[in-house]
Amino acid sequence: MKFSIITLFMVFLCGCELLDEDSSNHEIQPRALTLADTDLSGTWLLKQETRETKIETGEYLLSSFYESKFILEDTERGVIYNECEEYGDIDPPYGIKTPQHFYMNVQDPGFMLQADGTLQQTAVYELEYNPGFSYESIQTLTKVSEGVDIDNGTLALRGPVSVEEYSHVCLLKSTSNIGNRRSYHLIIPFDNERMIFSLNLIGEAPVGTYIINDYYSANEVVIDFYSNSILFEETMNSSGLDYENATINIIESNEDVISGSFVIIDESGNEHSGEFELILKG
């Protein structure tokens, strides 16, 4: 009887150890990454790095960087996606979500879900007009809001063409790890189309007043306006605001915000003035 009790006790302990080992093994198993049960709806920040390599030597040369926002809506018929400036269009494009990939364009490799919740796709290609070099594009989508976030600043323009926008202001950023040039673009709705305000900087461009007497020479700060709307082109006789003289006041300039005001005298002698604010984070 004593032997039987001990035997049963040992069997019970062994069973518990096996159960504990199985439970422990189960707990440490990594969860399979799949898009099938991931809701992509929300606002995502796209960061793209394009790496350039010299094919003959295999040397990495430089990287260019680009940022913009996408708004995604995960539906039963596909994933509606819009770049920030396209949000609200009546016929938006649809992307395809499979268990492993999200395709905005099925010709692309497709975004894959990463362990940190971001989506990433990588493509390697060459350009016919620039032989001898190869490019690696690394695109990363990071969710910044569960809702719709399309406000990255303010833009006001007064003159022959006037517009003010405070809520649907989209920001594109272009930089490089070579040189000291930066480009920022605010895009707003205008006359059933869009208006683009470009701010191009050389160096840090600290707070101060910058005067452009010759648009085609090097200037620390340059601004431009463009629009493909009929109203803009008919008023300005061009899709851009052509000028030679401008005064630009940088009021605030740091890693979070760049803001200022401007006065432009166009080639016809008309005055254009206004303000801008670029919210660089978020």
What digits encode the pLDDT tens for the residues 183-226? 999 999 999 999 999 999 999 889 999 999 999 999 999 999 99
Q: Is 103's pLDDT higher than 70?
A: yes
- 188 and 265 co-located in one domain: yes
Q: In this structure, what token pair is assigned to residue 241? A: 């605001």
Q: Is residue 93 part of a domain?
A: yes
Last residue of a domain, one of 117, 145, 173: 145
- 195 and 229 co-located in one domain: yes
Last residue of a domain, one of 99, 125, 145: 145
- 81 and 57 co-located in one domain: yes
What digits encode the pLDDT tens for the residues 37-93? 899 999 999 999 999 999 999 999 999 999 999 999 999 999 999 999 999 999 999
Which band of pLDDT confidence, cut at 50, 70 and 90, is reported for residue 33? low
Average pLDDT of the residues in 250-269? 96
Q: Is residue 88 part of a domain?
A: yes
- 81 and 124 co-located in one domain: yes
Q: Is residue 266 part of a domain?
A: yes
Q: Is residue 11 part of a domain?
A: no
- 98 and 180 co-located in one domain: no
What's the pLDDT score for residue 281?
83
- 159 and 193 co-located in one domain: yes
Q: Is 7's pLDDT higher than 50?
A: no
What digits encode the pLDDT tens for the residues 109-130? 999 999 999 999 999 999 999 9
Q: Is residue 262 part of a domain?
A: yes
Task: Report the percent of the chain where pLDDT is more than 90.
Answer: 85
Q: Is residue 270 part of a domain?
A: yes
Dist. CA 79–CA 76, nearest whole Å:
8
What's the pLDDT score for residue 22?
46
- 51 and 141 co-located in one domain: yes
- Domains in the chain, number: 2
**Host domain of residue 235:** 153-279
- 128 and 168 co-located in one domain: no
Q: Is residue 72 part of a domain?
A: yes
- 159 and 275 co-located in one domain: yes
- 140 and 162 co-located in one domain: no
What's the pLDDT score for residue 36?
85
What's the pLDDT score for residue 14?
41
Last residue of a domain, one of 125, 145, 165: 145
Q: Is residue 275 part of a domain?
A: yes
What's the pLDDT score for residue 16?
42
- 113 and 173 co-located in one domain: no
Average pLDDT of the residues in 10-30? 43
- 106 and 209 co-located in one domain: no
Averaged confidence pLDDT in the chain = 90
pLDDT higher for 282 or 111?
A: 111
| Count of beta carbons in the 10 Å neighbourhood of residue 12 | 10
Q: Is 176's pLDDT higher than 70?
A: yes
